[in-house]
Amino acid sequence: MISKRKQKVRILYLAVILTGLFLNVIIFNQNGDQNNYTTDKNYNENSNIIYQENDVKTQGIVEDSFTEEWLDNGNFAAGTDPWYNTTEGDDRDVFADYSNEAANYIINGSSGRLEISDPLDDTDWDLHRKPNNNVLPITSIINSAGCYVSHLWDEDVDQTLNTPSAQWTRTITTPVNMSDYIITSASLEAIYNATVVVSPWWNGGIDREGDTGLDDYSNGDYAEFYILIEDVEGQFDPFRVAIDNTANYDLGQDLGPIPTISDTALVPVPESVLISYLETVLSVNASNFNITLGIDIYCEDNEFGVDRDNFQELIFRSVNFTMTFEKKMDQKTTLSWNQIGNEIPSGANVDIQEARLKFDYQINETWSSIISPNSEIKIVINGTDHSESIGLDDIPILKQQAVFDVTNLVQIVGTGVNISLSLRLFLAEDFGLDRNFNITIDNVSFNITYTVSTVESPTELEIYLNGIDKTLDKSINIAWRETVNITVTFKNESSGNPILGAIVDLNGTGISEILNPSGDGNYSVVINTTNFKMGNNYLTLEASKRYYEKQSIVIKIVVIDRPASLEVRLNDTLSSTFDFYYISIVETLNITVWYKDFVTNTTIDSPQMELIGLATPTPLSHHPLYDQYNITLNASDLGTGANFLTVSAQKENYTLLYEDLTVIVTETASKLNLFLNGTQPANNKIVVNIWEIINVTATFTDFFDNHLSGADIYLLNDLGDLNPHPVFDQYYIVLNASEMDQGITIITLFAEKTGFEPQFITFYIEVVEMETNLELWLNSVNKTSSASIELPITSSLNITVKYTDNNTNHVIDANVRLTGEGLNETLIENFALKQYWIVISTNQLSLGTKILSIVSQKPNFKIIAKDMAIEIRKIRTDVDTEDGEEKIEIRPGESVTIKIELTNLDFGGKIKGADVTYDSKLGDGDLDEKDDGIYEFTLDDVPEGTYIIEISVFKEGGQYEFKDFKITLTVKRPAEENLLFLILLIVAMIVSVALAGYLIAYQRILKYPKPVRKV
């Protein structure tokens, strides 16, 4: 049965073979018939033939093409030799490195931070007078409160002390030489407070506009706090970088009153200005500069008479200075990896065809064009830059190959000159860089292709057929089944010497032979005429050797026998009715042959009948009843695809005949279906978690959907064989995603079974990380949605994290870290509670809002992070009298003892060791701590009146928040005592009048004796 399906795809690879076969038949038989009669214009039955017009001699130029690798150790496997590196520009910006069998360019970035925040002390800060002002305040010291100044100006004592100044200077040394660094940020914060006497003016009261008793006023009394920076050599005037003035707050104003300025920050210059000043002072000395804290006091004479101004406390509490910086990269700095290669051979016959440079490159971190948009890797050959380059922002993190055509540069260099290559890193701009970047190159290949042209030497070819010199007529007649010995001698025409090592081919219809060399310049081959067709057989002898002229000569072999006819049928179909015979692999093929005398059309008795094309020629069996020959084959023995068979028939004195048959054995159609985890995937793709397993199931059926058992079904690249399912008509294998790389894995499923079309399906498995969740608990309160908490200083903070996968399963052995504000701590895992925890003290953080971060990670799980805001405040306190009374009454002349109790509202208990002072018209002083947390003072012989006593509290360390407390003391007599006093006053007056009357009477009358008294 003949298949009529158009098997275009299957026979495509036969096209070239069949085309060649048909062309040979047409070319060599276009003028003959089946009996090989010829009408060739050069053929004559009765004459010798000369075929010299078909001989070809081709002398030309041999062009040898050489492609050579021009570099040694391009993969750096043997170290760096003979590579060497060179640097131009600032060699601090770049350096070369070798690691992991690759060459590296290191762009040497770095960053730093300078922070001055330690408490003020006289070890670092030196007190000195202000230039052009030799007057210091009465007190200028550094104590636990900070840089402390107090001053009392008494106009009556010394009028020249009204403008004193105090300055403290510290020399700051930078951690690096700043000449090679760029300042990226700078900040300055200074805290001060001030306390003055408000009134009265004659006893130290500070005068501000609107105060009572002012006779003259211009600016009033004030103090100015400021900070200077200056170079250590004094080349530039100091730069004022922060300032504040007590006049801005009307410190000392009577109305209010305003006796204090609590902790207040100086007003700094803008950051850009501060950076500019720092750059200026560091231009003089790149490692050192000075910071100066200054307090200027101005006491203005505002009253007639004696004016006194009392600045009780002017204090710099703290100074925090921070500066960050990055390494400065200099423009036009270069770093090159170089190698000097060999020279291309010189000569006019040498032509450079192509030069191609390849290398792998990558970078450890993506380069941003913001850093430097034009920096690049250049290719330089013998000092000339290639027109193409690689921008640093185009270099990938994963290894990538670069390919450059540098033919023009190599052609410019020319032959006879050593070719040098430089792969050059070029920094195109000035810029700052805070970290190192590592650019790696590897597998550098520099292939140069050039040609060398050579003129071929002339040759000659002598031909011997069965030992007879046939150089001229090139023809021989020979009987069927005889052999012909073809010998040629290939010589150098100039010297006559034989050419050894040549290749001599013999080609013709059905013939393709290489003549064997005999070692003396002769080449020969023996061919049985069974390989030829009857009649004229034209063969082409071609002798060639590199650098010699090629010879091509046509010879003729004439095979003569009695003509016969041959009829062949395949499964009862005449072979002349088809070009290709199709048969299924499960069918049988019956070949039947009739071999007859061409003239009488009678069957030739006992011929030799063979089928050629199997493993060995196989004889056909004779069927006496039908006088024919036949052979039966199983198509499965032939194998799928095209099978080229030949039926040959011959008998002595009869023409040898044969029939070429092309039998195409087709496989039975099959189907392959793929299921991943029980489902046919869309686009043959599935996305799985790294911990999942994938069930790969396949069904393999014939065209009618019948299960094909016993098939070989497997995954390519040794991923495993699919097993037959014990119950269902299918095959399966289980894959573990954890054994695959993250990302997309391409897998090919292949199915085959003898007699059936093989099938394959390519599918894709994308392995992704496990999704994760994070819950945040602060001091046992769930703060996941609002991650903030307020705590007093010195308290503890318990941070608990629940790190789970998307199935709410606890992620064990994770790396959970707490970072920020100088912290970098690892949380402890509690396996029983399935959580991570850590307890920190707020003493590890300073006051204010602090941003901390929790980062949770584990291989194959998605990293998750969360920020939290921790508000650290001072400890809340309560200042009160021991009995809770804020108003006290006593009699004039009595003494009163006042006890103050300090209570810790956050942690409970009394506050010990505080500095407690009082201030009133009755005087001021310190309270004594008689009992833990109880402070007292005594006022003796208090005169009548009403007094406001202000209680102020301070405790070293600044961890407590104290509010000023006022007590009203009323000193007066009781009402009944005032009545008694009035009565006694009247009685005293009566007595006094009576006594005075008596004295007058005595002087005038009673002192004389009665006889002489004048009445």
Question: When comparing pLDDT for 922 and 322, which is higher?
Answer: 322
Model pLDDT, residue 158: 74
User: In this structure, which amino acid lies at residue 371?
Assistant: I
Could you tell me if 559 and 480 are in contact, meaning their C-beta atoms sit under 8 angstroms apart? Answer: yes
- pLDDT of residue 32 exceeding 50, the answer is no
Model pLDDT, residue 807: 81
Q: Stretch 527-556: mean pLDDT, rounded? A: 89
Among 6-10, 76-80, 94-98, 453-457, the range scoring the smallest mean pLDDT is 6-10
Question: When comparing pLDDT for 245 and 1004, which is higher?
Answer: 245
- pLDDT of residue 109 exceeding 60, the answer is yes
Q: Stretch 367-378: mean pLDDT, rounded? A: 94
- pLDDT of residue 978 exceeding 70, the answer is no
- Burial-class residue 221 by CB neighbours within 10 Å (0-12, 13-18, 19+): buried
pLDDT tens figures, 659-685: 999 998 887 778 899 999 989 998 889
Q: Stretch 128-153: mean pLDDT, rounded? A: 94
Show Cβ contacts of residue 1003 under 8 Å, excluding neighbours closer than 6 positions.
none
- pLDDT of residue 107 exceeding 60, the answer is yes
Q: Stretch 987-1002: mean pLDDT, rounded? A: 78
What the block records as the tokens of 867 is: 């920020």
Model pLDDT, residue 34: 35
pLDDT tens figures, 779-801: 999 999 999 999 999 899 999 99
Among 31-45, 82-96, 552-566, 606-620, the range scoring the smallest mean pLDDT is 31-45
Instruction: Give the whole-angstrom CA distance, residue 379 versus residue 339.
Output: 12
Beta-bridge partners for 970: 889, 946
Query: What's the pLDDT band for 861 if we cut at 50, 70, 90?
Result: confident
Calculate the alpha carbon distances from 132 to 219, 661, 895 in Å. Answer: 22, 121, 51
Q: H or E segment at 867? A: strand 861-873
Query: What's the pLDDT band for 482 if we cut at 50, 70, 90?
Result: confident
Q: Stretch 119-142: mean pLDDT, rounded? A: 93
Show Cβ contacts of residue 701 under 8 Å, excluding neighbours closer than 6 positions.
670, 671, 707, 708
Q: Stretch 356-377: mean pLDDT, rounded? A: 95
Q: Stretch 313-323: mean pLDDT, rounded? A: 97
- pLDDT of residue 756 exceeding 70, the answer is yes
Instruction: Give the whole-angstrom CA distance, residue 227 versus residue 224.
Output: 10
pTM of the model: 0.44
Based on its alpha-carbon atoms, the radius of gyration of the chain, rounded to whole angstroms, reads 57
Could you tell me if 968 and 948 are in contact, meaning their C-beta atoms sit under 8 angstroms apart? Answer: yes
Instruction: Give the whole-angstrom CA distance, residue 951 versus residue 878.
Output: 12
Among 321-330, 929-938, 992-1001, the range scoring the smallest mean pLDDT is 992-1001
pLDDT tens figures, 879-895: 999 888 889 999 998 99
Instruction: Give the whole-angstrom CA distance, residue 376 versus residue 439.
Output: 11
Query: Over the range 55-72, which residues count as b (16 or more CB within 10 Å of their CB) and which as e?
Result: eeeeeeeeeeeeeeebbe
Beta-bridge partners for 557: 476, 537
Question: When comparing pLDDT for 285 and 809, which is higher?
Answer: 285
Model pLDDT, residue 35: 36
pLDDT tens figures, 53-101: 456 666 677 778 889 999 999 999 989 999 999 999 999 999 999 999 9
- pLDDT of residue 975 exceeding 80, the answer is no
Model pLDDT, residue 126: 96
Model pLDDT, residue 982: 72
- pLDDT of residue 47 exceeding 70, the answer is no
Model pLDDT, residue 57: 63
Question: When comparing pLDDT for 400 and 974, which is higher?
Answer: 400
Question: When comparing pLDDT for 534 and 265, which is higher?
Answer: 265
Q: Stretch 750-769: mean pLDDT, rounded? A: 87
Question: When comparing pLDDT for 440 and 49, which is higher?
Answer: 440
Model pLDDT, residue 883: 86
Model pLDDT, residue 974: 80
pLDDT tens figures, 205-234: 898 988 887 878 888 899 999 999 999 999
- pLDDT of residue 981 exceeding 70, the answer is no
Model pLDDT, residue 1005: 66
Helix (H, G, I), strand (E, B), or coil: what is residue 277?
helix
Question: When comparing pLDDT for 482 and 34, which is higher?
Answer: 482
pLDDT tens figures, 157-209: 777 788 999 999 999 999 999 999 999 999 999 999 999 999 888 888 898 98
Model pLDDT, residue 859: 85
What is the full DSSP assignment across 722-752? PEEPSSSS-EEEEEEGGGS-SEEEEEEEEEE
Instruction: Give the whole-angstrom CA distance, residue 250 versus residue 220.
Output: 9
* Domains of the chain, first to last: 36-60+456-560 (2.60.40.10), 66-111+330-455 (2.60.120.260), 124-329 (no CATH), 564-666 (2.60.40.10), 670-768 (2.60.40.10), 772-857 (no CATH), 875-971 (2.60.40.10), 975-1015 (no CATH)
Q: Stretch 728-735: mean pLDDT, rounded? A: 93
Question: When comparing pLDDT for 305 and 290, which is higher?
Answer: 290
Model pLDDT, residue 186: 97
Residue 488's nearest CA partner among 469, 472, 501 is 469
Q: Stretch 42-52: mean pLDDT, rounded? A: 35
- pLDDT of residue 5 exceeding 70, the answer is no
- pLDDT of residue 427 exceeding 80, the answer is yes
Model pLDDT, residue 428: 94
Query: What's the pLDDT band for 761 if we cut at 50, 70, 90?
Result: very high
- pLDDT of residue 772 exceeding 70, the answer is yes
pLDDT tens figures, 893-907: 899 999 999 999 999
Instruction: Give the whole-angstrom CA distance, residue 951 versus residue 963.
Output: 9
Query: What's the pLDDT band for 949 if we cut at 50, 70, 90?
Result: very high
Question: When comparing pLDDT for 1008 and 914, which is higher?
Answer: 914
- pLDDT of residue 36 exceeding 70, the answer is no
pLDDT tens figures, 579-636: 898 888 878 999 999 988 777 788 888 899 999 988 899 999 998 888 899 999 988 8
Round the average pLDDT of the chain to a whole number and report it.
Answer: 87
- pLDDT of residue 37 exceeding 50, the answer is no
- pLDDT of residue 17 exceeding 80, the answer is no
Model pLDDT, residue 1007: 64
Beta-bridge partners for 666: 584
